A and B are shown apart, each in its own frame.
Chain A
Amino acid sequence: MFPTPIQKSPRSWQITYQSFLPVALIMWLLPLLAVALFSVKPEGDFSGGNYWSLPSSFGGFENYGRVFFESDMPRYLLNSLLITVPTAIGAVALSCMAGFALGIYKFKLNLWVFFLFVAGNFVPFQILMVPVRDLTLDMGLYNTKTGLVLFHIAFQSGFCTLFMRNFIKGLPFALIEAARVEGIAEWRIFIYIVLPLMKPAIAALSVLIFTFIWNDYFWAIVLTQGVESQPVTAGITSFNAQFRAAYHLMSAGAIVAALPPVAMFFLMQKHFIAGLTLGAVK
């Protein structure tokens, strides 16, 4: 066990450890593996009561085919994408600027503004629910993707500003001073000096926000209804109503809904973890 490196421990323990790893992993992911198994079983297995036997034949193509061609799932996925991507762009853009202002300039209210963003980021959603729904209705944006995107950008800018400001604080201030001595305008300092240095933070935040927003459920059901604007987290409820008790299809639907952020995580793992743990380790 830590802190003893495995290489220095007895051979018997090394073998135990290596063989226990996959067992532990299977136990950890058991509920998910069960759903994955369900999603490739043919319909007959369920009507026959063979829930936990191996699939009698591979029904994966048919099940996933029906999810994509006989339900509104593709539409919900598209909605999710059209909500998630603009939110990530908007929130990152706002917070790059706000983070620059809070990380570089010393002014009296600096820490107060910063703490306002941090505190707002932690409030329970319910305290915002009624007024935000009202505001969205008043702007005529209820049940539109735009309405949802605007709220998400605003709310996420709290967390993003916290993140960006701390990142910018870690940049060498001498660079900015040097630029000022040269007489470069402040907005040029932002665009030509700070922004290029922020690339890793921008990548990390984009991936993180993509996942957060893709997985949002509460605001989706508060601000939208119906297939034309609901994202997949909310849409899966109607999907399940359509295929009630058809566990092979519901399982396939759940996997399809969960897949995009998972793919994002595996493709951008380094950025993702850097984003989640920023501040935990300097």
Chain B
Amino acid sequence: MSTASLAKSDYETPNRSWYKRNEISVTPWLFLAPAILFFAAYVIIPIFQSFEISLFAWDGLGAREYIGTENYVELWDDPAFYTSLKNNVIWLILYLLAIPAGLFIALFLNQTVMGIRLYKSLFFFPFVISQVVVGLVFTWFYDPTFGLLNTIIGWVGLGPINVLGDPTYVTYGIIAAGLWPQTAYCMILYLTGLNAVDPEQIEAARLDGAKGWRMLWYVIVPQLKPATFIAFVVTIVGALRSFDLISVMTNGGPFGESRVLSFYMFEVALSEYGFRMGYGAAIAVVLFFIMLFFIAYFLYSMYQDERGR
């Protein structure tokens, strides 16, 4: 025993505590603990709980009844589910228009003239406003009796169209409202990206005779790749999170034609139409897997980036 303690005192003074000896390996976990705890309780664990709940019939209050995959079987034959899914696809595709639109506005505003900073801020304005207010603003904009849209197309002898009351137009009308703040967001990403474009490369390309579209596509857009990636991520996430606008503008109507999965889930699980938590959870699981496909891609891209450092 005495030899052992002697050996120890050779490399360490006895008053160094366990914490002191393991400081470098323990500290990160101490610092991570609160965030991980919160994140696990409110985000990670609930994902798995939702998977579980989707296998039950449950009204949120009484006893749960295990019904296996019945919720998913019902979903398979639910026309409202397919309407929502179809609308989700339309949202995803059309929402991506925010990226070229944002780039276009950014190119337009990327000049140095008097007051351009204020112009840039004001163009960015719609993104700062809550989606609820954007929804209200566009509901009035589309209003068939006094809305600005119908007033304007009335001048050229068209209309009136009740955009939000017509099953064929309603989803497009809401997406247009959503594109407004989203385009502003993409614009600001590109404006920042354009600041970092290398002027020497542009000069070199100009000497080589590149101009117009070719200059844009082959010289400028490749240099904006990081901005495009972020714009893509936030636009996809935004499209799949579309809930506020639908809830405020149409509440899913007319005849449920403007529902998307996120809204339909809420309607099934937590609205006057019922408290079917199990069925709602099943819809959420489907939505989760659609998102997971994109999350995997985002993480893969980030991983490549990390390794490149």
- Minimum CB distance partner of A233 in chain B: B132
Check if B130 sits within 8 Å of A233, measured CB to CB. yes
Residue B284 contacts which of A129, A157, A217, A266 (CB distance < 8 angstroms)?
A129
**A117 near B: Cβ within 8 Å?**
yes
Quick one: which of B172-216 are within 8 Å of A by CB?
A: 180, 185, 188-189, 192-197, 202, 215
Shortest CB-to-CB span from A49 to chain B, Å, is: 8
- Minimum CB distance partner of B287 in chain A: A124
User: Which A residues lie within 8 Å of B32 (CB)?
Assistant: 97-98, 101-102, 113
Check if B50 sits within 8 Å of A5, measured CB to CB. no
Check if B241 sits within 8 Å of A125, measured CB to CB. yes
Check if A124 sits within 8 Å of B284, measured CB to CB. yes
Looking at chain A's contact residues, the main secondary structure is helix
**B77 near A: Cβ within 8 Å?**
no
- Minimum CB distance partner of A111 in chain B: B306
Chain A: number of interface residues, binned into ranges: 35 or more
Quick one: which of B95-150 are within 8 Å of A by CB?
A: 107-108, 110-113, 119, 121-126, 128-133, 136-138, 140-141, 146, 148
Check if A257 sits within 8 Å of B137, measured CB to CB. no
What is the total number of residues of chain B having a CB less than 8 Å from a CB of chain A? 98
Cα-based distance from A225 to B104 in the complex (angstroms): 42
Q: B31-61 interface mask toward A, CB cutoff 8 Å, 1 = contact, 0 = none?
A: 1101110110111111101100100000010
User: Which B residues lie within 8 Å of A236 (CB)?
Assistant: 132-133, 136
**A28 near B: Cβ within 8 Å?**
yes
User: Which A residues lie within 8 Å of B230 (CB)?
Assistant: 277, 279-280
Check if A276 sits within 8 Å of B241, measured CB to CB. no
**B27 near A: Cβ within 8 Å?**
yes
**B299 near A: Cβ within 8 Å?**
yes
**A119 near B: Cβ within 8 Å?**
yes
Check if B195 sits within 8 Å of A273, measured CB to CB. no
Known A-B contacts A97-B32, A276-B185, A281-B192; A122 and B237 likewise in contact (beta carbons under 8 Å) = yes
User: Which A residues lie within 8 Å of B53 (CB)?
Assistant: 130-131
Residue A280 contacts which of B137, B180, B189, B303 (CB distance < 8 angstroms)?
B189
Cα-based distance from A147 to B41 in the complex (angstroms): 13
Among the listed stretches A67-75, A184-192, A197-205, which one makes contact with chain B, having 4 or more residues with CB under 8 Å of it?
Answer: A184-192
Residue A98 contacts which of B31, B110, B132 (CB distance < 8 angstroms)?
B31
Cα-based distance from A120 to B131 in the complex (angstroms): 22
Check if B129 sits within 8 Å of A261, measured CB to CB. yes
Residue A128 contacts which of B46, B128, B136, B195 (CB distance < 8 angstroms)?
B46
Residue B130 contacts which of A94, A118, A135, A214 (CB distance < 8 angstroms)?
A214
Check if B125 sits within 8 Å of A32, measured CB to CB. yes
Cα-based distance from A158 to B112 in the complex (angstroms): 37
Among the listed stretches B65-73, B157-165, B288-296, which one makes contact with chain A, having 4 or more residues with CB under 8 Å of it?
Answer: B288-296
Query: Could you write out 7 A-B pairs with CB less than 8 Å apart?
Result: A31-B140, A115-B302, A119-B299, A129-B50, A130-B269, A236-B132, A264-B128
Residues of B within 8 A of A (CB): 23-25, 27-29, 31-32, 34-36, 38-39, 41-47, 49-50, 53, 60, 107-108, 110-113, 119, 121-126, 128-133, 136-138, 140-141, 146, 148, 151, 180, 185, 188-189, 192-197, 202, 215, 220, 226-227, 229-230, 233, 237, 240-241, 243-244, 247-248, 261-262, 265-266, 269-270, 277, 280-281, 283-285, 287-288, 291, 294-295, 298-299, 302-303, 306
In the complex, besides A2-B111, A123-B43, A126-B265, 17 extra interface pairs with C-beta distance below 8 angstroms are A3-B220, A21-B113, A52-B146, A52-B151, A98-B35, A101-B29, A111-B303, A117-B35, A127-B50, A129-B266, A132-B46, A187-B27, A217-B243, A233-B244, A261-B130, A264-B128, A281-B227
